[in-house]
Structure formats: structure tokens, C-alpha cells
Amino acid sequence: MPRDRWNAEAYYDPNPDAPGKIVTRNGGFVDHLQDFDATFFNLSPREAASLDPQQRLLLEVSWEAMEQGGMVPSAWAARPVGVFIGMSSQDYSQYLSDREETDIDAYLATGNSHSAAAGRLSYTLGFTGPSLVVDTACSSSLVSLHLACQSLRNQECEVALAGGVNRNFGADARGSSESGRAQRRTDSAERPRTAGRDSSGFGECESQR
């Protein structure tokens, strides 16, 4: 468990019925949660501080995806490029809301709204095609890809950027016990099983696809 998330020992309990506890100490995490080149994306330090790490990762990896695909982002500005993003977690906004009232600003809303995640990406890269975020829980990335393909077939956009992002900032004690009972079935090595017949398909992991 990365040290910049939560204390795994404090939340761990092998009993899946223990309230406010998690039955595993393991998970799949993307390193360097707080690292972000805000200047590269023309964001001020103050705005970046309130920007959900999911949105930070989305900006960085989307740029990298275009580069790796041989597409210069600036060459696609002002063109009908669609953005279709799957996204569901929002625990960072809960963390920010616990700050002193004097530290809460307008960036709390724009930096943590799911709808703003796709809009920010389209605005930053100058795309003019459809831009949306879908939340269908575990299938969010798959549904976003489906919508991207559908949009291309309907000629709503020339190119589509599709994917999903998930970063877990903190352990929510209100939901962790429910996750322990219904979602995190583990083997003896405390590894989440996501494909077994008695599993929900959910694993404690993060991704940007």
C-alpha cells in the first residue's frame, strides 16, 4: 500500500463482516499520486492543488497515448476529435471538503466534477468533437469505448480518444465493510480475485487505459 494513500494496517481485518474494515492489505496502485506537471497543461499551482489526481492522470496519459500513436496533439486542435472517458471514483473531493472553509475555492467543483474531466481534456487539446464522461461502475471504460465506436460510425467525430481512469485516494470506512462482504473475496495470499465464479469482478486497483 503506497504511503500517500491510507494506513493499510489500520483498516485491515480478516473478518469480512467487521464494520469499517477491509479484508486485504494489497492492491494495484499507480505510483506518484501527487506528481503532476501543471505548467505543461497551463494550470496554476492553486488550480492543480484542487485537481482530482484522476484528472491529472487523464491529461498526462491522453497526451502520451497520442504521442505513442504518432499523433501530434497540436495538429488535431480545432478538429472534431471525440473524447469518451469512463470514470466513477470521487473520494478526492471528499478529502478536499474536509479542509478549512477558507481553503475551499471554485476549483473544488471544476477539479472534481466528472463532466469537467472530459471537457478539460477537450479544451486543453482544442478538440471540438463530442466530449463526455460515463459512470457505469466497473464497466465504465468498456462503455466509453462502445460510445466512441458508435460516434465514429455515426460520423459525429473524425477521431475518438477513449478510455477510463481510476485512482483511489483514501479508504472510505463507510463503504469498506460492504466491499469486504460483497466485492473483495480473497485467497490465502490476500490477493483480490476478480474473475472467479464467486467474485463480483471488482479488484482494488487503479488504471488509465
For 18-64, the pLDDT digits (tens) are 888 888 887 777 777 778 999 999 999 989 988 999 999 999 999 99
Same domain, 10 and 59: no
Instruction: Please indicate, yes or no, if residue 205 is contained in any of the structural domains.
Output: yes
Task: Show Cβ contacts of residue 195 under 8 Å, excluding neighbours closer than 6 positions.
Answer: 201
> Do 169 and 91 meet the contact criterion of CB atoms below 8 Å apart?
yes
Same domain, 69 and 148: yes
Residue 86 in this model has a pLDDT that exceeds 90? yes
Instruction: Give the domain extent around 125.
Output: 50-167
The rounded percent of the chain whose pLDDT value lies above 70 is: 82
Same domain, 142 and 191: no
| Other C-beta atoms lying within 10 Å of the C-beta of residue 201 | 12
Q: How far apart are CA 62 and CA 83, in angstroms?
A: 10
Taking the alpha carbons at both ends of the chain, their separation in whole angstroms is 21
Same domain, 7 and 102: no
> Do 166 and 172 meet the contact criterion of CB atoms below 8 Å apart?
no
Mean pLDDT over 150-170 rounds to 93
Instruction: Please indicate, yes or no, if residue 89 is contained in any of the structural domains.
Output: yes
Residue (of 174, 155, 166, 44) closest to 105 by Cα position: 44
State the average pLDDT for the chain: 82
Same domain, 152 and 184: no
Domain of residue 59, CATH code: 3.40.47.10
Tell which wins on pLDDT, 191 or 33. 33
Mean pLDDT over 134-146 rounds to 95
Residue (of 133, 47, 61) closest to 96 by Cα position: 47
Instruction: Please indicate, yes or no, if residue 104 is contained in any of the structural domains.
Output: yes
pLDDT digits (tens, 9 = 90+) for 56-73: 999 999 999 999 999 999
